[in-house]
Amino acid sequence: MDTMSSSTPLTALQVMQDAPVIPVIVLNDVAHAVPMARALLAGGIRMLEVTLRTPQALACIEAIARELPAAVVGAGTVRSKADAQAAANAGARFAVSPGYTSAVGQACRDAGLALLPGVATGGEIMAASEEGFTELKFFPAVQAGGVAMLKAWGGPFFDVKFCPTGGITLQNAPDFLALPNVVCVGGSWLVPANTAEEGDWGRVTRLASETANLRHLKL
Ligand code: 3PG
């Protein structure tokens, strides 16, 4: 817990090791940001990926960073140097990208953001790892080959660790987490689309709490 102090830059491995699941959060209203983060914290999850997919996303990151020091907020859907800089300025501590480019890698380094770059092929893994990124998001995981793909990558890419994201559920997460090259998974199932609008924060806390049972798989 204490190693997450906001003055110390995080490593990608710290981001991945904190909990079995990184929630992929889409927020349409800045008023939902802090209650959503509180609900996830109450369910035992503090590493929070807020995706840059809505006009409010940066303000949401800023609100969580400012008001909830117990949370560690990151930005998802980081696709450019400008996204990385804006995320860091808003208070994000880590970034997740749907693919990898050198520009995003360098921008995250410059901004002090840990980065989980997205990959879906061997060539992309080689490009990212050549530039020093060996903790990667496998995206879209289920659609691009799932558990079988990760098993195949375990041979040539024996030193690379993955956070599969895309199509992961509470039901299939154990199959992924049981693999030696998977540290955690990512998913939006903890934060269903309508819960924020309905203010059903108890549901988010329940869904987050359920993932604690997955933890033993990686201990
Ligand atoms: C993402 O947006 O990073 C993933 O698409 C999340 O995928 P999911 O909605 O299938 O969990």
Q: What is the pLDDT along the chain (219 residues), one digit of tens a residue?
A: 445 777 789 999 999 999 999 999 999 999 999 999 999 999 999 999 999 999 999 999 999 999 999 999 999 999 999 999 999 999 999 999 999 999 999 999 999 999 999 999 999 999 999 999 999 999 999 999 999 999 999 999 999 999 999 999 999 999 999 999 999 999 999 999 899 999 999 999 999 999 988 876 766
Nearest-5° Cα angle at 128, 127 to 132 = 120
CA atoms of 57 and 28, how far apart (whole Å): 7
What's the CA-to-centroid distance between 79 and ligand 1, angstroms? 15
Catalytic hit among 49, 62, 135, 161: 49
- Where do the domains of the chain lie, and which CATH numbers do they carry? 12-210 (3.20.20.70)
**137 is a catalytic site residue:** yes
Q: What is the pTM of this model?
A: 0.95
Ligand 1: lining residues by beta carbon, under 6 Å: 24, 76, 140, 165-168, 187-189
Catalytic hit among 62, 131, 135, 137: 137
